Amino acid sequence: MKFNDIVKLVAALAASFLAALIGSVFTIPSITTWYASLNKPFFTPPDWLFGPAWTILYLLMAIALFLVWRLPQSKQRDSAIAVYAAQLIMNVLWSVGFFGFHNILLGVALILLLLALIVLTTYEFYGLSKPAAYAMVPYILWVSFATCLNVAVFLLNP
C-alpha cells in the first residue's frame, strides 16, 4: 500500500471515529438517565449491544470511505465523499437532537434524514466501488432498525 493510501485510511478511520466520539459525548450521559426513563418497545436491544454494533459500523463506514477516496480524483468521487461527509454530520446531529436535547420527535426527523443520506451515499459509492457500497449495507440495516425504534419510542412517549 502506498504512503498516500495509508494517510487516507488513517484519515478515514479518524473521521469516522471522531464522529463516534462527538456523538458519544451527547449519548453516554443520557443512557442511564433520560433514555432509561423512556417507554421502549419490546424489540429494543439491550444497552450493551449498541457500543459494539456502532464500533463495527463506524469501522465499516471508514473502510467504505477509504475504498472510494483512494480512487482517482473525479467529480463523481468528490460528490460521493461529500454525501458521505453529510451523512456523518447527520449521524452526529441525531445524537445531539435525540440524546442531547432529549427531543424524540427531532430524533425521528433527523434519523429519517440520516437514513436517506446513508442510502444516497451507498448509491454513490456503488457507482465507484461495489465493495465500498457493500460495506455500507450493515449501516443501512442498523439505521433502518434504529428508525423503527425511534418511531416506536416516539409513539410510546407522548
Q: Where are the domains of the chain?
A: 3-156
What's the CA angle centered on 109, arms 106 and 113, to 5 degrees? 135
Topology annotation, domain 3-156 = Ferritin (1.20.1260)
How far is 92 from 18, CA to CA, in rounded Å?
10
The dihedral of CA 74, 76, 82, 87: what is its sign? negative
Task: For the beta carbon of residue 44, count every other beta carbon within 10 angstroms.
Answer: 13
How far is 106 from 15, CA to CA, in rounded Å?
25
Q: What is the pLDDT of residue 1?
A: 83
Question: Which DSSP string do the residues of 83-123 spell out, in sequence order?
Answer: HHHHHHHHHHHHHIIIIIS--HHHHHHHHHHHHHHHHHHHH
Q: Which of 137, 115, 111, 114 is nearest to 125 (CA)?
A: 137
pLDDT tens by residue, the chain, 158 residues: 899 999 999 999 999 999 999 999 999 999 999 999 999 999 999 989 999 999 999 999 999 999 999 999 999 999 999 999 999 999 999 999 999 999 999 999 999 999 999 999 999 999 999 999 999 999 999 999 999 999 999 999 98
Full-model pTM: 0.95
Q: What is the pLDDT of residue 39?
A: 98
